[in-house]
Chain A
Amino acid sequence: MSLRDQDELLIDDALKGSARAWERLVKRYELQVYNFSLRLMGNQTDALDLMQEVFIGVFRNLHRFRGESLFTTWVFRIAHNKAVDMNRRRRLFNEKDLYWQQDADDDEVDPFEQLSDTRPQQDPAFELVEERGNKEISRYLAVLSWDQRLIVELKLFQSHTFEEIAELQDIPANTAKTRFYSALKKLKGLMEQEHDM
């Protein structure tokens, strides 16, 4: 029996209320979804939150899955949308925090000192991940903007074509290409700076 057939059987059983079938279905894709979330969010807590949101979304919409695409493609479409939503929420939250912090620290921070710090600014949400290789990769990804990080994820780790990315993000394909190229250039610069390449 093919993976697709197995997925369909598990989906049918899960729709009939089988918790066991749902659990088996989740176990087949959770590793991919969790690592997708970890690369995007940069820390285990947020990655787990995102993964949970993804699977809750999958569960709620399971009856809408028609089998026209692979189940994994469908799951990652939901994962992409949930990631965008979570980033939007987190950004709003951080902006609010930064606003209050800015008021409090106005007299203490020397603006020139900030300008003199030329090191790439990392996303504060990023924490160190366990694996040494993954830790470095996470540090590189943290340098990218959210849009660049998302497009690198979709292109390099999910192996989407630029046409697919354009459709998923509702942007022109050329915008997707430019964004990807900018991300690569930024990463290349960072790697060269660290004599890594």
Chain B
Amino acid sequence: MTCKKTELLVVEYLEADMSAGQRLILERHLRDCAHCRQELSAAQRTQARLRHWQDEPVPQWNRIPESLQQAGKPRQWSGLFGWQWAPLSVSFLLALAVLFNVQVSSTPNGIVVAFGGSAGIDEAELAEYLTRLEQQEEQLQALTVRMEERQDAANGRLLESVLTQFGETTSRSLEQVIAYVEEQRQQDLQLLQSSYQQLADSDFQTIRSVQELATYVQYQAGSR
């Protein structure tokens, strides 16, 4: 005995979220069909047998992946924060200091940190400070004038010294030039004198040669 509806009936019946309407229809069919009742019962027993599974404990295994093992190592503060964020932190603090107009001043009572431009100075202190500033300015002007005068005197002495030195140098140079020229003139005169002497000597030899030649000629003529 078989039934075409068995497969559908069994799987639908085992579906947990079956609606009440569907369940009523299926139960009505089961009352009338012994084959389906038998098949459903066997399927339920099979399921029940499989569900006897007792969870077995997990053997020891390495749960943490290698990448997480490296990342999970305790991080050193200096490595994480020291150098990586230090420049940014300093920039941020400086930006805050500028933004809030932070002033740090040293007073006889200690160091005063003030926000918003007020460093705790009253008007009398400010007037005294200004007076001191004016006095310092006058002293500075007087010092500047004295320095200018001193500088002018020094410049004058330097100029005089330079001129004197230049005059002496020039005088010595002229004397040297004259002596050189005189020496050259003497050398030239000596050279000229010796040249005239050589020329005169040469002329004397020429005359003697001519005289000897004339004598020879006269002798030849006499012998003929």
Chain A interface (Cβ within 8 Å of chain B)?
14, 17-20, 22-23, 26-27, 30-32, 34-35, 38-39, 44, 48, 51-52, 55-56, 59, 129-131, 133-134, 137, 140-141, 152, 155-157, 159, 161-162, 177-178, 180-181, 184, 187-188, 191, 196-197
Can you offer 9 A-B residue contacts whose CB atoms are under 8 A?
A30-B63, A34-B56, A155-B14, A157-B50, A161-B16, A161-B17, A177-B8, A178-B7, A181-B43
Number of interface residues of B (CB under 8 A): 32
Q: Are A184 and B17 in contact (CB under 8 A)?
A: no
**Chain B window 170-207, contacts with chain A (Cβ cutoff 8 Å), 1 for yes, 0 for no:** 00000000000000000000000000000000000000
Q: Are B63 and A39 in contact (CB under 8 A)?
A: no
Chain B interface (Cβ within 8 Å of chain A)?
7-8, 10-11, 14-17, 42-43, 45-47, 49-59, 61, 63-65, 68-69, 71-72
Quote the shortest CB–CB distance from A80 to chain B (angstroms).
18
- Per the bound structure, the CA–CA distance linking A90 and B8 in Å amounts to 33
- Contacts A55-B63, A141-B50, A197-B42 known; 10 new A-B pairs at CB < 8 A: A14-B68, A19-B72, A22-B64, A52-B61, A56-B65, A129-B56, A130-B56, A137-B53, A188-B43, A188-B46
Q: Are A156 and B69 in contact (CB under 8 A)?
A: no
Report B-chain residues with C-beta under 8 Å of the C-beta of A30.
58, 63
Q: Are A156 and B11 in contact (CB under 8 A)?
A: no
Quote the shortest CB–CB distance from A186 to chain B (angstroms).
9
Contact of A187 among B8, B16, B50, B51 (CB under 8 A): B50
The A/B interface has a contact count, at CB < 8 Å, of: 101
In the complex, which residue of chain A has the Cβ closest to the Cβ of B18?
A161
Q: Are B72 and A18 in contact (CB under 8 A)?
A: yes
- Per the bound structure, the CA–CA distance linking A96 and B55 in Å amounts to 34
Contact of A181 among B7, B59, B72 (CB under 8 A): B7
- Per the bound structure, the CA–CA distance linking A113 and B181 in Å amounts to 145
Quote the shortest CB–CB distance from B140 to chain A (angstroms).
64
Q: Are A184 and B63 in contact (CB under 8 A)?
A: no
Report A-chain residues with C-beta under 8 Å of the C-beta of B69.
19
Report A-chain residues with C-beta under 8 Å of the C-beta of B59.
44, 48
Contact of B64 among A19, A35, A48 (CB under 8 A): A19
Which 3 pairs between the two chains have the least Cβ-Cβ distance? A19-B72, A17-B71, A177-B11
Report A-chain residues with C-beta under 8 Å of the C-beta of B52.
133, 137
In the complex, which residue of chain A has the Cβ closest to the Cβ of B11?
A177
Q: Are B68 and A38 in contact (CB under 8 A)?
A: no
> B53, B68, B72: which has the most chain A beta carbons within 10 Å?
B53
- Per the bound structure, the CA–CA distance linking A187 and B46 in Å amounts to 7
Report B-chain residues with C-beta under 8 Å of the C-beta of A196.
49
Quote the shortest CB–CB distance from B2 to chain A (angstroms).
13
Contact of A31 among B17, B53, B55 (CB under 8 A): B55
Contact of B15 among A14, A39, A162 (CB under 8 A): A162
Q: Are B65 and A27 in contact (CB under 8 A)?
A: no
Q: Are A184 and B56 in contact (CB under 8 A)?
A: no
In the complex, which residue of chain B has the Cβ closest to the Cβ of A181?
B7
Report B-chain residues with C-beta under 8 Å of the C-beta of A34.
56, 58
Assess A180 versus B11: contact at CB under 8 Å? Given A18-B72, A35-B56, A137-B50: yes
Quote the shortest CB–CB distance from B197 to chain A (angstroms).
119
- Per the bound structure, the CA–CA distance linking A141 and B44 in Å amounts to 16
Report B-chain residues with C-beta under 8 Å of the C-beta of A32.
55
- Per the bound structure, the CA–CA distance linking A196 and B42 in Å amounts to 12
Assess A20 versus B72: contact at CB under 8 Å? Given A30-B58, A131-B54: yes
Q: Are B68 and A17 in contact (CB under 8 A)?
A: yes
